[in-house]
Amino acid sequence: MTFKFDLYWSFRSPYSYLATPRIVEIAKRYEVDVDVHVVMPLAVRDDTFFERVNPLWPPYVLTDTVRIADNLGMDYG
């Protein structure tokens, strides 16, 4: 039986970037099919996004993604 999962992936998301090598490894190691769906970034889908976003969100995302990249040993900049 072949397993399959849907992946909703955004070119703008740092989390998508950070997850990609692990997704590829899982697909290879366990012979899992990945059905990738590229989604438009939130800022494109909602033109008021930057007007409404909590000002603490951007620095939080930067801190969080740097921490994740460091933990995974990935280059990030």
pLDDT of 77 > 90? The answer is no
> What single-letter amino acid sits at 36?
V
Say what the pLDDT of residue 30 is.
94
The mean predicted confidence, pLDDT, of the chain is 94
Burial of 11 (0-12, 13-18, 19+ CB in 10 A): exposed
SS3 of residue 68 by DSSP = helix
According to the model, what pLDDT value does residue 42 have? 83
Q: How high is the pLDDT of residue 14?
A: 95
Q: Quick one: which H or E segment has residue 24?
A: helix 14-30
Q: Do the beta carbons of residue 19 and residue 69 sit within 8 Å?
A: no
